[in-house]
């Protein structure tokens, strides 16, 4: 699984399979927990198709309409995906609470266990492949895909444990409480799943608002730039950074000493090249612009 496109195709195929599996088994078992799991896979399927398109789009060069390229489509897509997941969580929570108040719901435990075992193993396997693809391609899209599959895997694992325990409780003194297992399990699954799309939305909205990369990445950039400028006649260096999807941008303002010999275009271009190479060594996706100014008002 070497390419981003291959990983996304695997995710689409897996989402289709598990959405069909979950929705079908929810009919056999009457389980809201399995229905919730199936809808989660259905969202992944729809968003996976869009993700495949966006993955191709972000590689396109800038054009007249998007003159800074298409990098912002990644956090936009991830934000929409996170919001949809939160919407499904909210709907499932309300439905489960109403079911509890109505006396719970009966379900077929045996088929529920069969579904949950298949879904748990499959989701964690796809999550591992997506994570490996994300490491190889450094793709934010695959990072979110891997996280979504891990959520689905943990949801299925919780269903397996609860249904397994309920199956063992059939015919015992605990049997009258079994109709409450499914809606209670849905509530638990929502509480477990909801924080992940919340974090995804928060992080990607920050990128849409042109937020800076993590502090550790900023520190590494400053160290590299200061190393280049250390022996040059400059008074101060100010760096402004942002991260949008897989693209990172740094605007480096260099305040030169008055009357400095650092004046020739060729020499300034050499400094720009050095800064660009230093940041490329940290992360190939850095886009760098170095501006030389003699008046501090330009960097205030």
- What integer is the mean pLDDT of 21-39? 82
pLDDT confidence of residue 125: 93
Domain 215-299, what fold? Alpha-Beta Plaits (3.30.70)
Q: Percentage of the chain with pLDDT > 70?
A: 96
Chain segment 71-93, per-residue pLDDT in tens: 888 899 889 988 988 888 888 78
Residue 185 pLDDT exceeds 70: yes
Which pTM value belongs to this model? Answer: 0.75
Superfamily of chain region 4-208 = Cation efflux protein transmembrane domain (1.20.1510.10)
Q: What is the pLDDT of residues 231-284, one digit of tens each?
A: 778 888 999 999 988 888 999 998 887 766 665 677 788 888 999 999 988 888
Positions of CATH 3.30.70.1350 in the chain: 215-299
The band of 1, judged by pLDDT with boundaries at 50, 70 and 90, is very low
Q: How confident is the model at residue 300 (pLDDT cuts 50, 70, 90)?
A: low
User: 165, 137, 131: which is closest to 151 by C-alpha?
Assistant: 131
């Amino acid at each position: 699984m070497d390419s981003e496109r291959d990983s996304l195709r695997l995710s689409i195929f897996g989402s289709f399979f598990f959405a069909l599996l979950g929705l079908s088994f929810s009919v056999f078992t009457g389980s809201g927990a399995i229905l919730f799991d199936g809808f989660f896979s259905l969202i992944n399927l729809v968003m996976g198709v869009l993700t495949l398109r966006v993955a191709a789009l972000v590689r396109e060069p800038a054009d007249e309409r998007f003159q800074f390229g298409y990098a912002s489509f990644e956090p936009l897509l991830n934000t929409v995906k996170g919001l949809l997941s939160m919407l499904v969580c909210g709907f499932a929570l309300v439905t489960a609470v109403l079911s509890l108040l109505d006396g719970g719901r009966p379900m077929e435990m045996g088929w529920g266990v069969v579904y949950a075992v298949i879904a748990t193993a499959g989701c964690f396997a796809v999550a591992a492949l997506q994570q490996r693809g994300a490491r190889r391609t450094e793709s934010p899209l695959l990072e979110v895909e891997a996280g979504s599959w891990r959520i689905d895997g943990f949801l299925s694992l919780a269903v397996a444990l609860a249904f397994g325990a309920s199956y063992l409780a059939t015919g015992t003194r605990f049997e009258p409480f079994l109709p409450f297992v499914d809606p209670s399990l849905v509530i638990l699954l929502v509480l477990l799943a909801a924080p992940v799309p919340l974090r995804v939305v928060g992080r990607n909205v920050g990128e849409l608002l042109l937020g800076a990369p993590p502090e550790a990445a900023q520190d590494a950039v400053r160290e590299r730039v200061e190393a280049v400028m250390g022996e040059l006649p400059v008074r101060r260096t100010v760096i402004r950074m942002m991260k949008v999807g897989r693209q990172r941008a740094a605007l480096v303002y260099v305040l030169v000493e008055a009357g400095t010999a650092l004046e020739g275009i060729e020499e300034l271009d050499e400094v720009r090249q050095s800064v660009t190479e230093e940041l490329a060594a940290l992360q190939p996706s850095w886009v760098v612009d170095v501006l030389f100014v003699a008046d501090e008002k330009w960097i205030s």
